[in-house]
Amino acid sequence: GRKIKYVNLSREERSREIKAGVELLSRAQVCQKVTASHCSGVPLSAEASDEIYKLIFMDVGIVNYLCGGRWNDISEAVGQVLVNEGPLAEQFVGQHLAYLGRGKPQLNYWLREGRANNAEVDYVISQGMQVLPVEVKAGASGSLKSLQQFVLEKGSKRAIRFDLNPPSKMRVDVKARSGDSVENVQFELLSLPLYAVEALPLL
């Protein structure tokens, strides 16, 4: 998902009207806001910005339908890559993460914007007093640079990755750039297959 800019949703309607429409869809739980947060501690919502958010829908099937995808075509696409498989994977994980906790569904993500040091972590969740960054990959590999930047900045000891690999746990020890310097980043990375997202609270 991308940060919502009302002008990208419609160039004909005013931002105020688009915002009102998004709010109605969100209240009806047709879509879910994923709000940006500084993610410095618990609760994550205490540092969230209501004005900076991305959207996921209540179900990945709706997203696929809106993108013009048909199940018959997708089910027969063996060995072929969908151009939107990344957003679909992020949508799938997000719709399940939103309902793992008790009470009203709530999701956050981490966004750092700058001319040369942009970084975004797909989701950030909390387990007890622990803040966990979550990255989603549609394939079996992918860069974790934003995850490393989050760990470096927030001091997290553990991170989660959802992808197509079997479950694994590994110790990550890499170097990441912080301003003009390079620092060591160490953390535990728990990798889970996409379908195991609902097992996360048990791990």
pLDDT given at position 202: 86
pLDDT at 42: 93
Structural domain of 146: 6-202
DSSP 191: E
Whether 71 has a pLDDT exceeding 80, the answer reads no
Q: Examine residue 142 and state whether it is found in any structural domain, yes or no.
A: yes
Q: Which helix (H) or strand (E) holds 152?
A: helix 145-154
**Predicted local confidence at residue 191, as pLDDT:** 95
Q: Which of 23, 16, 18, 17 is nearest to 8 (CA)?
A: 18
The one-letter amino acid code at 5 reads K
Return the percentage of the chain with pLDDT > 90, whole number.
53
Q: Average pLDDT for residues 136-155, to the nearest whole number?
A: 87
Tens digit of each residue's pLDDT (9 = 90 or more) over 10-45: 888 888 898 999 999 999 989 999 999 999 999 999
40 vs 5: which has the higher pLDDT: 40
Query: Cα dist. 56→21, 39, 90, 92, 120 in Å?
Result: 15, 20, 9, 9, 16
Environment class of 92 (CB within 10 Å of its CB; exposed 0-12, middle 13-18, buried 19+): buried
Q: Is there a domain that residue 174 lies in?
A: yes
Residue 61 lies in a domain: yes
Residue partners of 199: CB distance under 8 A and separation at least 6: 192
42 lies in some domain: yes
In angstroms, rounded to a whole number, what is the distance separating the alpha carbons of residues 146 and 119? Answer: 5
What one-letter code names the amino acid at 116?
A
Split into its structural domains, the chain has a count of 1
Query: Does residue 1 lie in a domain region?
Result: no
Q: 136: pLDDT confidence band, cut at 50, 70 and 90? A: very high
